[in-house]
Amino acid sequence: MSGQARRQALEYTGVTPSRTGELARFFAALVDNGDEVFFHPHPLTHEQAVQQGQYQGRDFYCLQLFRDRISGYGMLRGWDEGFAVPSLGLAIHPRQRGRGLGRDLLLFLLAAARRRGAETVRLTVHRENHGAVRLYRSMGFLLQEKTPGVLEGFLVLQDGPGMPYRKNGARV
């Protein structure tokens, strides 16, 4: 399947209780792959997957589905705590990487942030997380060292052709 066809097969959805078991397996795959070093927004446990399925609040969590299976998990956090600038995080299933899904999920999250009124998005990334650093820089994030080994990045969001709002039934 070509990269474009793969991306056209993607859907986005919220984290529903019906996906809890699958999300727990997704978290376990990240842990098995050693990704917790770079991706630790919260514990990557079954209990946390259950909590995510029940979450109600202003922060935003989403699942990227490829052929109705979880291929990615993304979030915008900080609104619950009263920040105007949300912090973005994302992970793609280890078996699905290198095919453009991370970039698609990032674009989706940026569009979701804009739709929710954010003017700027923030993130932190480990300097050694080379793939993520490259992805964020390629999207225009300005990354600067915040603490030793950790970069902080900001992106000012703009409306317009560069900001895709998905129309194929996806909730942005």
Ligand X SMILES: CC(C)(COP(=O)(O)OP(=O)(O)OC[C@H]1O[C@@H](n2cnc3c(N)ncnc32)[C@H](O)[C@@H]1OP(=O)(O)O)[C@@H](O)C(=O)NCCC(=O)NCCS
Of 134 and 171, CB closest to ligand X: 134
Q: What angle do CA 78, 154, 123 make, to 5 degrees?
A: 50
**Amino acid identity at 83:** F
The verdict on 131 binding ligand X (CB under 6 A) reads yes
The verdict on 7 binding ligand X (CB under 6 A) reads no
Q: How far apart are CA 46 and CA 26, in angstroms?
A: 10
Task: Report the residue closest to ligand X, judged by CB.
Answer: 102
- Residue in 34, 98, 148, 169 binding ligand X, rule: CB under 6 A: 98
Of 99 and 114, CB closest to ligand X: 99
The verdict on 91 binding ligand X (CB under 6 A) reads yes
| Interacting residues of 11 by C-beta distance below 8 A, sequence separation 6+ | 64, 65, 68, 168, 169, 170
- Residue in 118, 122, 129, 151 binding ligand X, rule: CB under 6 A: 129
Question: How many residues at the interface with ligand X, by CB under 6 A?
Answer: 22
The verdict on 10 binding ligand X (CB under 6 A) reads no
Spatial contact of 15 and 53, defined as CB atoms under 8 Å apart: yes
The verdict on 38 binding ligand X (CB under 6 A) reads yes
According to CB under 6 A, which residues from 17 to 36 bind ligand X? 35
**Amino acid identity at 7:** R
Q: What angle do CA 138, 112, 131 make, to 5 degrees?
A: 30
The verdict on 97 binding ligand X (CB under 6 A) reads yes
Residue with tokens 């820089």: 137
Stretch that binds ligand X, among 50-58, 76-84, 127-135, 140-148 (CB under 6 A): 127-135
Which runs of E-coded beta strand occur in 55-170? 60-66, 69-77, 87-92, 120-126, 142-147, 150-156
The verdict on 76 binding ligand X (CB under 6 A) reads no
The footprint of ligand X (CB under 6 A) covers: 35, 38-39, 89-92, 97-103, 125, 129-132, 134-135, 138
